[in-house]
Structure 1
Amino acid sequence: MIKSVIFILFLAAGLSAQELWVKVNSPTTHTLRNLHFVDSLYGWAAGDSGAIVATTDGGSTWVSQRSGVLTDIYDLHFSDRNNGWCVTWRLDTLPYGTMLLNTTNGGKNWVKKPWEEPDIFLLTAHFLDSLNGWISGYEGRMYRTFDGGNEWRPEGIIPGYCSSFPVTYMNFYDSAFGMASGGHVDISGVIWRTTDNGEIWRSKCLSPEPLNAIYYLDSLNIIAVGGDFEYGTGIIRTTDGGLEWEYTSLEVFGIATAIDFRKDGEAWVPLAFANKMIYSFDTCRTWNVFEMPEFTNVFDLQFTDSTRGFAVGSNGVIYKYVPNYTAIKNETVNQESKENVLSIRNYPNPITEGTMIEIYSPQGIFIDIELYNLNGECVSNIYSGIKSKGRHHIYFNPGNISTGVYLLKVTDALGNTASVKTIKLK
């Protein structure tokens, strides 16, 4: 493994103002931690207190499904529109252990399947089809089924220093080649690798923090992300199918919990409790920061194609990625974000419920963002604090501010200012 000590520069060139994550109606207030779409229409999300929600119309509407449990769901995976699995734990009665949930009708009905052996705590599942799947979890345990989960057999794991660390994620490139990730906080992040249909797995310690998700660019080029509260976000990549890896610390606070690509080169990673996501336009070489609205924690995301994506997180929030956002034809002052000019803009504009303020700062400096009426009176102090060089996003809810025309203004510690006219509707 090669360790990189290169500081990852968070580029000033950020998102177009015409790209945005917008909140959609969610039927739950329980935190959602897992998201899975099998195609552009059918998707599910699951999380705390047994919450499962589903969509059959591409995320336009979401409905709750009855899981039959009140424990947290650690993973959710569907092989097609009908067959799906959830991993949770049995904690209400002895003996404690793993509880699997299985559906064969898209989640209309979920059937409990207690793990036969007690005190086994599993965390993640992956199915190639309705019959062939794997499940894994604490102590590096891995099991495989050939009959849709009626019977499970232990997989062969080559013993190693970190082979018994928790496995938290699994993903297969094809039926023969697959990887799993996980690790132990303050010790190591781990990748498990198989090339023989999961018969034998070999582990490798690769990072100072656990690894939480894996993405295959192809069979040779693979990326995994992770992090913890001490080391922050980290990334590893391989160009030879996982024989050798390069680790890089991104020098940003947050725990990377997922990774997906919207299109070639453009990757998105949620940072969980850091209330932000990071995104890259150059296949994870350099990164930008996107601050989530209302300080939302996002735990998982997935793009179904280049124009549609979803993210889930705290308090049941569901976000939809909307490219080419059309409601930003507004009059602006100093709107263009040149690399040496302080700038501000917001979208949508006019504002009904809330708006995303985008600023560009040509240097790391203290800034103030304020809202003024046309009499020159400050009606809201939106933000005061230090921002690094680059593009930043801050969500603003105008609340009970009266209908009318206002001026959003950003001022830095050197006295530089920029502003944009915005309209508040009822």
Structure 2
Amino acid sequence: MRVVLLVCALLVSVAVPASAGERLPKWELTPTGVTAQFRGLSAVSARVAWVSGTQGTVLRTTDGGATWKSVGPPDTGTLEFRDIEAFDAERAVVLSIGPGTDSRVYRTDDGGAHWRQTFQNTEAAAFYDCLAFFDPWRGLAMSDPVDGRFRVQATFDGGRSWRQVPDSGFPPALPGEAGFAASGQCVTTAGPFEAWLATGGGAKARVLHSGDGGRHWTAAATPLPSSASAGVFAVAFRSPGQGIAIGGDYANPTAPGPAVALSHDRGRTWATPSEYPAGYRSGVAWRGGTVLGVGPGGSDLSRDGGRHWTAFDSGSFDTVDCTGSGSCWASGVQGRVARLGR
């Protein structure tokens, strides 16, 4: 009986294939001409997007993906740019990950023709995973815990300079707890002051929330699995009151989950919906009331805010991003970048 109940639960809990006649969007691959893995992505519009990844690679398109231009900082071929946040076709901030001095931030104001390094980590225990902005001026960069608390840098001038947020505003980290630099989405913002950090690796997969621009934080457990390779990999909020966390176990990507949790109270509590994608997903984005989730095993969408899911693509992507007007992009391994079609 126990085995039967488990099988039945799995059958009703994963994303289902599209029904006959259901019209689903399609990813339209764009030719980048490179083989870098792009875990950093910033969608600006239907025509403008930036991606960042391995071997110090940063690409930009201004024609909807018809062509891509290599615009990365010089002499950074050994760095992995896991996150990028662009404000328009000219201004962007990119984050490289790694221990010690490999964690850096660069900014450009001329479409990547010139870059200035604005931050370089000096703490051996720090490892910066991702960054996000409230607006073109204020942003946060998240590191794994240092001395038992998460480390966050804040900027108030668009990433031109950074200052550490006092760690007294953070709850203690769990043993082994950290962020995942898998999609540039382990920190997100909504509105002028709300921010969230996604974690895993510890006894619980948690989401930390700040309502004052990053100065003070509280932690809430999610129902997602947590281990050295599992947890919340991405978090996104449509508004301060409506959010979604997505993840799973990257070392066991076909594990049944749950891969999704929903919050309707600014991240204070999280609950598993009746359906969720089948297996590990690393990226998530809102497109109006629709949610897109992506991972190495494929892409899924939910038209009702994350309660029910439909698989619509089997290709591998690491991250996804949508603009306020509904233009969506995805990126991943082997230089894969795609724009969402009708």
Q: Identify the TM-score tier after normalising by the shorter chain.
A: 0.7 to 0.9
Instruction: Label 1:106 to 1:201 Cα distance change in 2 as closer, same or farther (>3 A).
Output: farther
What is the distance in 2 between the residues matched to 1:114 and 1:307?
32
Using the aligned pairs only, state the percent identity.
19
Q: Which runs of 5+ in 1 are unaligned?
A: 324-426
Equivalence for 1:289: 311
> Number of residue pairs matched?
309
* Mapped pair 1:79 → 2:73: no
Alignment check: 8 A CA contact 2:15 2:310 kept: yes
How big is the shift at 1:165?
2.6
**1:350-365 alignment runs, 5 A limit:** none
**1:398-417 alignment runs, 5 A limit:** none
* Mapped pair 1:158 → 2:164: no
What is the distance in 2 between the residues matched to 1:232 and 1:42?
36
Alignment check: 8 A CA contact 1:85 1:125 kept: no
Alignment check: 8 A CA contact 2:43 2:50 kept: yes
What is the distance in 2 between the residues matched to 1:134 and 1:211?
18
How big is the shift at 1:248?
5.0
* Mapped pair 1:128 → 2:134: yes
What is the distance in 1 between the residues matched to 2:161 and 2:51?
24
RMSD: 2.8
How big is the shift at 1:150?
2.3
Look up the equivalent residue of 2:57 and give its one-letter code: A
Alignment check: 8 A CA contact 1:260 1:303 kept: yes
How big is the shift at 1:311?
1.5
Looking at secondary structure, tell me which structure has more strand per residue.
1
Equivalence for 1:303: 322
- Show CA shifts across 1:289-327 (max 9, x none): 2343xxx4211122336774322111001222221xxxx
Equivalence for 1:195: 211
Alignment check: 8 A CA contact 1:226 1:235 kept: yes
* Mapped pair 1:267 → 2:291: yes
* Mapped pair 1:279 → 2:301: yes
Alignment check: 8 A CA contact 2:330 2:337 kept: yes
Equivalence for 2:67: 61
Instruction: Label 1:126 to 1:155 Cα distance change in 2 as closer, same or farther (>3 A).
Output: farther
Q: Secondary structure at the match of 1:82?
A: coil
Instruction: Label 1:163 to 1:127 Cα distance change in 2 as closer, same or farther (>3 A).
Output: farther
User: Which stretch shifts more, 144-153 or 24-33?
Assistant: 144-153
How big is the shift at 1:224?
1.3
- Show CA shifts across 1:207-260 (max 9, x none): 323112222232212111111144454111112222221135867553211112
Alignment check: 8 A CA contact 1:163 1:204 kept: no
What is the distance in 1 between the residues matched to 2:276 and 2:263?
20
How big is the shift at 1:151?
3.7
Equivalence for 1:421: none
Q: TM-score if structure 2 supplies the norm length?
A: 0.80
Look up the equivalent residue of 1:179 and give its one-letter code: W
Alignment check: 8 A CA contact 2:273 2:307 kept: no
How big is the shift at 1:43?
1.3
Larger Rg: 1
- Equivalent position to 2:34, from 22, 28, 53: 28
What is the distance in 1 between the residues matched to 2:178 and 2:320?
22
Equivalence for 1:43: 49
What is the distance in 2 between the residues matched to 1:175 and 1:164?
31
* Mapped pair 1:104 → 2:112: no
What is the distance in 1 between the residues matched to 2:176 and 2:216?
14
Alignment check: 8 A CA contact 1:40 1:305 kept: no
Equivalence for 1:145: 155
User: Which stretch shifts more, 213-222 or 163-172?
Assistant: 163-172
Equivalence for 2:247: 226
What is the distance in 1 between the residues matched to 2:340 and 2:264?
30
What is the distance in 2 between the residues matched to 1:124 and 1:118?
17
Alignment check: 8 A CA contact 2:273 2:306 kept: no
Q: Secondary structure at the match of 1:315?
A: helix
Q: Secondary structure at the match of 1:259?
A: strand
What is the distance in 2 between the residues matched to 1:262 and 1:129?
19
How big is the shift at 1:124?
0.9
Alignment check: 8 A CA contact 2:38 2:51 kept: yes
Alignment check: 8 A CA contact 2:235 2:284 kept: yes
Instruction: Label 1:192 to 1:163 Cα distance change in 2 as closer, same or farther (>3 A).
Output: farther
Alignment check: 8 A CA contact 1:103 1:110 kept: yes
Equivalence for 1:176: 193
- Equivalent position to 1:211, from 227, 232, 241: 232
Q: Secondary structure at the match of 1:180?
A: strand
- Higher relative contact order, structure no. (Cα contacts within 8 Å, ≥ 6 residues apart): 2
Alignment check: 8 A CA contact 1:121 1:138 kept: yes
How big is the shift at 1:128?
2.9
Alignment check: 8 A CA contact 1:36 1:43 kept: yes
What is the distance in 1 between the residues matched to 2:80 and 2:17?
39
How big is the shift at 1:98?
1.6
What is the distance in 1 between the residues matched to 2:219 and 2:119?
28
Instruction: Label 1:83 to 1:268 Cα distance change in 2 as closer, same or farther (>3 A).
Output: same
What is the distance in 2 between the residues matched to 1:268 and 1:126?
19
How big is the shift at 1:136?
0.9
Structure 1 runs (4+) deviating above 6 angstroms are none
Equivalence for 1:361: none
What is the distance in 1 between the residues matched to 2:326 and 2:210?
33
How big is the shift at 1:134?
1.1
**1:333-352 alignment runs, 5 A limit:** none
Q: Which runs of 5+ in 2 are unaligned?
A: 1-8, 181-185
What is the distance in 1 between the residues matched to 2:104 and 2:87?
19
